Structure 1
C-alpha cells in the first residue's frame, strides 16, 4: 500500500513517514509511506492508496477527502498526538485498520 502523509510544508510529515516505514519494515509489510506538502498534494496523490492528513490541517480534511476519492484513495485525519508515536506502530495500526475496512 502506498501511503502519503500530508502536512503544511512537508517537514513534520517526513518524520511520520520515516517512522511508518520503519514500523512496516519491522513487520515485513510492503507498505511505503512518503511525505508531501499541502501544495504538492494534487500532484503526489495520483499514486497513493491512502492519504494521512496532519492534525494541523483538520480544517482542510473534507477537501482532501474529496480529492482522494477522485483518485480512488482514502483520506484520514491523524490524531493530534501523532508526532509522539516515535516508533510508528500506532500510525501503522491505523493504516492496517483502514486497509481492512476498505477490503470488507
Structure 2
C-alpha cells in the first residue's frame, strides 16, 4: 500500500487560535517524520474543505456544534473529535498530534 500524506483540518470559531495550534502540531509532526498536511480554518469554511481531509479536529468551544459537524463527517467516514480543552488552551501540539495518530490508527 502506498502511504499518502494525511490531511488534517482543525477548526475553531475564527481560525486564529486553531492556526497557532496547527503550527505547533506541524512542528512536532515534522520532528516525528510524519507525512501530514495540517491546516486550520474557521468552522464556517468547513464545507469548503470536508471533501479533502482525512481527519477533522474541532476546538472545544465548538462542542455545541458536534452533532452538526458529525452530520458532515460521518457520511464520508472522516474521523472527527473535539480537541481536549487543556491541550487546546496550552497549544500542546504534541498531545494533539498523538490524538491524530490515534484517530488514524497509525500507532
TM-score, L = length of structure 2:
0.87
Count residues in correspondence.
100
Q: From the superposition, tell whether residues 85 and 11 of structure 1 become closer, same or farther in structure 2 (CA, over 3 Å).
A: closer
Does residue 29 (structure 1) correspond to residue 34 (structure 2)? The answer is yes
Distance 1:71 1:37 in 2: 20
Show the counterpart of 2:43. 38
TM-score, L = length of structure 1:
0.89
Show the counterpart of 2:56. 51
Residues 72-87 of structure 1: matches in 2 within 5 Å?
72-81=77-86, 82-86=88-92
Runs of at least 4 residues off by over 3 Å: none
**Shift in Å at residue 71 of structure 1?**
2.8
**Shift in Å at residue 17 of structure 1?**
0.8
> For structure 1, which runs of at least 5 residues remain unmatched after alignment?
none
Show the counterpart of 1:7. 12
